[in-house]
Amino acid sequence: MNHGLLIFNLLVAAPVFAWEPQTGDIIFQVSRASQSRAIQLATHSDYSHTGIVVMRNSEPYVFEAIGPVAYTPLQKWIAQGKDGRYIVRRVRGGLSSPQQQKLKCRFLSNTDFDFICSPNYLLKHSICTLLLSIRLYSHHVLPIIYDIY
């Protein structure tokens, strides 16, 4: 085998990042929705949509407010964003297993879900959640762990 060709291929090959989604990861993208640019301008952010990754039956979903609060499979969520670009932030050190479990239980609990989905609560708090997440990103409280462009 030609070792020079092998070395060349290794040098020019695109790096592969192995992001392992974890419950509690915060994922950001530019939405294709009509209000996307207005959200970016209002929040002084490169991103207009966010969600929280939640592992369900070993599969990653994004818990997001898109009208009703919903779980969207991660790959579908990524595909819905502009150009398939997104970044993921994780609390420094990640959430512990008990913290991840507590977060999942909170999102999966019927009482909380019904409460969160009430129209007045949803409108006020989905916007607050978006602004909080974007503020965390903007102020670099959360370290970036994965960036796709």
Q: Is the pLDDT of residue 144 over 90?
A: no
The string of pLDDT tens digits covering residues 32-41 is: 888 888 878 8
The residue among 41, 27, 44, 38 whose CA lies nearest residue 79 is 27
Domain ranges of the chain: 18-148
Domain 18-148, CATH homologous superfamily name and number:
endopeptidase domain like (from Nostoc punctiforme) (3.90.1720.10)
Q: Quick: pLDDT tens for 14-26.
A: 444 478 999 988 8
Residues 26-70 have pLDDT tens digits of 898 998 888 888 878 877 788 888 888 999 999 999 988 776 678
Q: Taking the model in full, what pTM does it have?
A: 0.66
Cα–Cα–Cα angle for 66, 71, 74, rounded to 5 degrees: 100
